[in-house]
Structure 1
Amino acid sequence: MKTKRLNIRPIEENDWSSIQAIWEDFNKSEYVIYDNFKNTDSDDVKKRIEKWANATRSGKEHIFFATCLGSEVIGFTSLNIRPEGYEIGYGFLDKYQGNGYAKESLVAILDYMKGIGAKKIFAGTALKNLPSVGLLSSLGFELTGTEEISFHKDNDGNDIYFEGGIFEKKL
């Protein structure tokens, strides 16, 4: 897929170092408390991206895209089949955030998903992650529910909870 500024293609095994950089950025961000910590060990990332590439080639249950600006991978999008549609996830290098690249790529990806017969896309994000909430809203996702989520524990071993939003978009 091509947009005005981007090339969006299926993820490839050799994209691992770009995804590693995205996860390293994420692990340093204020939003890391709202998601699982991303293992950035080179061997682990290589294995995971190899699985992503194989899954994307194998069918439509798990689809992973690389978003490229020129030849540089600046982001990724994952789509995993659910009983009523797909769940979407995404990540972009910090230095490219705030330039509309995520929205531009996701518009193209959502159009692609509609073209392959997807009827609904789900997304989850912390309600305090205002950039992600804003992006989803700008793409036409609607908040359909909330849930209390914990991915981390405090120093005493107690869960640290936050309010997560459940978003849906009909295609």
Structure 2
Amino acid sequence: MEFQTDRLHIRILQESDWPELQKIWIDFCQSKYAIYDAPLPTDDKGAKALIDHLAKESPEAQFTAGTALENTPSCNLLKKLGFTCISTETMSFDGRFFFQGGNFVRMLK
């Protein structure tokens, strides 16, 4: 499933996207402004509304998500939204900092 406007393109993440995501992360971490970034809120209303909408449009679809297992707010949000951790793996955004990540899935049906 894809959704596209003039300014936004949402599509399934592909393995070939990973190198570019790493570049974005490294660039972000090297920014002199990174120290001012505050954690994002973990309000579930927007995510729940999107999941509910997509469940009506494509009831056979599933969502996948990943986060650091030590990122308790994100793990709790995913669980609150009905996601289940199906596996864990060692991950890195930049090849220098490694962490245990969880792979979560939520079937819409």
Once the 2 structures are TM-superposed, how far is the Cα of residue 151 of structure 1 from its aligned partner?
1.3
Residue 133 of structure 1 corresponds to 75
Task: Please report the TM-score for the alignment, with normalisation by the length of structure 2.
Answer: 0.62
Counterpart of 2:44 in 1: which secondary structure? Answer: helix
Percent sequence identity is 30
Read off the aligned partner of 2:105 and give its amino acid letter: E
Residue 115 of structure 1 corresponds to 56
Residue 124 of structure 1 corresponds to 66
Residue 99 of structure 2 corresponds to 162
Residue deviations 1:119-156, cap 9 Å, x none?
Answer: 21000001011100000011110000011111135xxx
Read off the aligned partner of 1:107 and give its amino acid letter: K
Q: 1:111 to 1:128 in 2, by over 3 A?
A: same
- 2:90 is equivalent to residue 148 of structure 1: yes
- 2:45 is equivalent to residue 104 of structure 1: yes
The ranges of structure 1 where at least 4 consecutive aligned residues each deviate by more than 2 angstroms after the TM superposition are 10-13, 80-83, 93-98
Residue deviations 1:91-113, cap 9 Å, x none?
Answer: xx958726xxx211111100111
Residue 20 of structure 1 corresponds to none
Once the 2 structures are TM-superposed, how far is the Cα of residue 160 of structure 1 from its aligned partner?
2.1
Q: Which has the higher contact order (CA 8 A, sep 6+)?
A: 2
Q: 1:95 to 1:167 in 2, by over 3 A?
A: closer
Q: Quick one: distance in 2 between partners of 1:95 and 1:123?
A: 18
Counterpart of 2:49 in 1: which secondary structure? Answer: helix
Q: How many residues align?
A: 83
Q: Quick one: distance in 2 between partners of 1:146 and 1:129?
A: 13
Counterpart of 1:128 in 2: which secondary structure? Answer: coil
Q: 1:95 to 1:144 in 2, by over 3 A?
A: closer
Which structure shows the higher strand fraction? 1
Aligned Cα root-mean-square deviation (Å): 2.9
Task: Please report the TM-score for the alignment, with normalisation by the length of structure 1.
Answer: 0.41
Q: Quick one: distance in 2 between partners of 1:111 and 1:125?
A: 22
Read off the aligned partner of 1:146 and give its amino acid letter: T
